[in-house]
Amino acid sequence: MLRTHSCGELTKKNEGKKVTLVGWVKTLRVQGKVSFLLLRDRDGITQCFLNDELTKKTSDITPESVVLVEGKVKVRPDKQIRKDIKTGEIEIETSKIEIISKAEVPLPIEVEEETTTHIDKRVDNRFLDLRRDKVNAIFRVRSKIAQHTVEFFSKEGFVNINSPKLTESGVESGAEEFKLPYFKKTASLAQSPQVYKQMFVISGLERVYEIGTVFRAEKSHTTRHLTEFTGIDMEMGFIENEHDVMDVVENYFKYLLTEVSKSCKEELELLKVKLNVPKKIPRLDISEIRKILKEKKKNIPEDDDLDAEAEKLLSEYVKEKYKCDFVFALNYPWKKRPFYHMRPENNPKGTRSFDLIYNGVEIGTGAQREHRLEILEKQAKEKGIDLKKMKFYRDIFRFGAPPHGGVGLGLDRITEQLLNLDNIREAILLPRDPERLTP
Ligand code: 4AD
Ligand code: MG
């Protein structure tokens, strides 16, 4: 490797040691004949002192250039300890500096921690935007969320699957598909792994999960919709009802928030986020929610979904009453849910379904599925779908199908809500929406 140490690694204990650091120039401050260079890499920032000779040589270094610094670790006097950086108790007495790659001026966006540059322009220059510690931190947390998700589902005996993204057609009513030429046919990009996760539960794996890309040709311009996002989907067999699925989802979020609090301490501090691990997530029937919302002057007709405003109001209510950032909304109207949902015996207008709302935004939708072929066919017909045309899906229910259910969550939305970000675009490296296909 080019370096002996990272920029966040050195302490008093390394005093006198000869080291080589490489990174980006954060700032170069000339003070009379000498200068101070702040060198940054993924681990932190180190101050490098340049004497007059080196200062003369480096007068053309530009911010964000990549440089290599060789020198000796020097302990700073107590009074001069820099509290603003991790390695504030030391600095490097530079003996050699080499420019590896010079950055052009001016930079297309500023890379200061606090910036007012619009998210669109920042995404246009995402590779530079990520040089900012706070932005970088978001993606370190996202990566940990994905890691703890894998830990949790493997611990619970779920098998990780990868289902096709090139498909014949989807089952998520309401969600539009992207069509593309596929040799002599037209293919659709998968808008959820729904049919496949059911298939592999029934096939005998019993418990499956997938973290994968989901495509939705939605023309929405909101702070919560993307046309390409990462789904966290799971499906499980031999359930008694949808509450068994909710139990797993609840345990997942308890585990996730506890583990992220531990593994992302520095990042959460930097982003000023304090996580509130749920003890018990309230489960409220949609009819009850309608009453709660009515008192808040928000009317949701009987056959309707909760809209964004309703979700926000509901979250506020739950936060106040139950001190919880999460809430399950149960029993969504049959009219609004796809045909594969199971309906409660005593209420054909409802479904054995739930949404999970986190700090005012839906992050998950789940349900018990209909596994009895006769009823499933009737339900498909009611929704104007001919199951005979979806032969491979119909067939999975013909040779022994356990009662089952599952949930679809969004990694981007979980990251957005967990970190209190104001736009889903902050939580994904390169967002895709109706206007954006690059970079
Ligand atoms: O609510 P959705 O559409 O549900 C399904 O896909 C079902 N197959 C789930 C199931 O197992 N029954 O999508 C699931 C989750 C949403 O709650 C949200 O977190 C995320 O996927 N999601 C989106 N995220 C970003 N942009 C979009 N356009 C999204 N659409 C859904
Ligand atoms: Mg949903």
The backbone torsions φ and ψ at residue 11, rounded to the nearest 5 degrees and listed phi first, read -135, 180
* Dist. CA 145 → ligand 2 center (Å): 20
Q: Looking at the structure, do residues 179 and 84 belong to the same domain, yes or no?
A: no
In the predicted model, is pLDDT for residue 306 greater than 70? yes
* Dist. CA 200 → ligand 2 center (Å): 22
Residue range 24-77, pLDDT digits in tens: 999 999 999 999 999 999 999 999 999 999 999 998 999 999 999 999 999 999
Q: Looking at the structure, do residues 170 and 87 belong to the same domain, yes or no?
A: no
Sign of the CA dihedral with 377 first, then 337, 215, and 180 last:
positive
Q: What is the pLDDT of residue 272?
A: 98
Residue 114 belongs to some domain of the structure: no
Residue nearest ligand 1's atom 20 by CA: 410
Q: What are 422's two structure tokens?
A: 């104001």
Look at residues 101, 116, 137 and tell me which one is the last residue of a structural domain.
101
Q: What is the pLDDT of residue 361?
A: 98
pLDDT exceeding 90 applies to what percent of the chain?
93
Count of helix runs (H) and strand runs (E) in the chain: 12, 16
CATH of the domain at 92: 2.40.50.140
Range of the domain at 23: 7-101
Q: Looking at the structure, do residues 291 and 365 belong to the same domain, yes or no?
A: yes
Q: What is the pLDDT of residue 170?
A: 65
Q: Looking at the structure, do residues 78 and 135 belong to the same domain, yes or no?
A: no
Residue range 338-350, pLDDT digits in tens: 999 999 999 999 9
- Helix (H) or strand (E) holding 381, with range, is helix 373-382
Closest to 201 (Cα-Cα) out of 174, 169, 167, 161: 161
Q: Looking at the structure, do residues 194 and 95 belong to the same domain, yes or no?
A: no
pLDDT-based confidence at residue 411 (cuts at 50, 70, 90):
very high
Total domains present in the chain = 2
Where on the phi/psi map is residue 48: left (φ > 0), alpha (ψ -120 to 50), or beta? beta
Q: What is the pLDDT of residue 283?
A: 98
Q: Looking at the structure, do residues 140 and 244 belong to the same domain, yes or no?
A: yes
Average pLDDT over residues 171-197: 88
Residue 234 belongs to some domain of the structure: yes
Alpha-carbon dihedral 193, 199, 205, 206, rounded to 10 degrees: 90
Q: What is the pLDDT of residue 175?
A: 67
In the predicted model, is pLDDT for residue 437 greater than 80? yes
Residue 113 belongs to some domain of the structure: no
Q: Which of 214, 311, 327, when mutated, tests ligand 1's pocket best, judged by the most ligand atoms within 8 Å of its CB?
A: 214
Q: Looking at the structure, do residues 78 and 158 belong to the same domain, yes or no?
A: no
Residue range 128-177, pLDDT digits in tens: 999 999 999 999 999 999 999 999 999 999 999 999 999 987 666 656 89
CATH of the domain at 223: 3.30.930.10
Q: State the Cα–Cα distance between residues 119 and 106, nearest whole angstrom.
A: 19
Residue range 264-289, pLDDT digits in tens: 999 999 999 999 999 999 999 999 99
Residue 112 belongs to some domain of the structure: no
Q: Which of 171, 177, 192, when mutated, tests ligand 1's pocket best, judged by the most ligand atoms within 8 Å of its CB?
A: 192
Q: What are 349's two structure tokens?
A: 């207008």
Average pLDDT over residues 86-103: 96
Average pLDDT over residues 370-387: 95
Look at residues 66, 101, 136 and tell me which one is the last residue of a structural domain.
101
State the ligand closest to the CA atom of 171: 1
* Dist. CA 138 → ligand 1 center (Å): 21
Residue 361 belongs to some domain of the structure: yes
Per DSSP, the three-state class of 53 is: helix
Residue 177 belongs to some domain of the structure: yes
Look at residues 82, 101, 120 and tell me which one is the last residue of a structural domain.
101
Average pLDDT, the chain: 96
pLDDT exceeding 70 applies to what percent of the chain?
99
Q: What is the pLDDT of residue 168?
A: 86
Q: What is the pLDDT of residue 295?
A: 96
Q: Looking at the structure, do residues 351 and 306 belong to the same domain, yes or no?
A: yes
∠ CA 420-137-149, nearest 5°, is: 75
Q: Looking at the structure, do residues 291 and 363 belong to the same domain, yes or no?
A: yes
Buried b / exposed e over 287-325, threshold 16 CB at 10 Å, is eebbebbeeeebebeeeebbeeebbbbbbebbbeebebb
Q: What is the pLDDT of residue 420?
A: 98
Q: Looking at the structure, do residues 79 and 134 belong to the same domain, yes or no?
A: no
Q: State the Cα–Cα distance between residues 36 and 432, nearest whole angstrom.
A: 41
Q: What is the pLDDT of residue 147?
A: 98
Residue 153 belongs to some domain of the structure: yes
Q: Which of 215, 246, 336, 413, when mutated, tests ligand 1's pocket best, judged by the most ligand atoms within 8 Å of its CB?
A: 413
Q: What is the pLDDT of residue 59?
A: 87
- Mention every residue, 6+ apart, whose C-beta is less than 8 A from residue 429: 126, 130, 139
Q: Looking at the structure, do residues 411 and 302 belong to the same domain, yes or no?
A: yes
Sign of the CA dihedral with 316 first, then 318, 322, and 325 last:
negative
Residue 109 belongs to some domain of the structure: no
Q: What are 265's two structure tokens?
A: 């301490």
Per-residue DSSP letters for 226-244?
-SEEEEEEEEEES-SSHHH
CA 5 to mean position of chain CA atoms = 31
* Range of 111-115, 175-179, 332-336 with top mean pLDDT: 332-336
Q: Looking at the structure, do residues 139 and 71 belong to the same domain, yes or no?
A: no
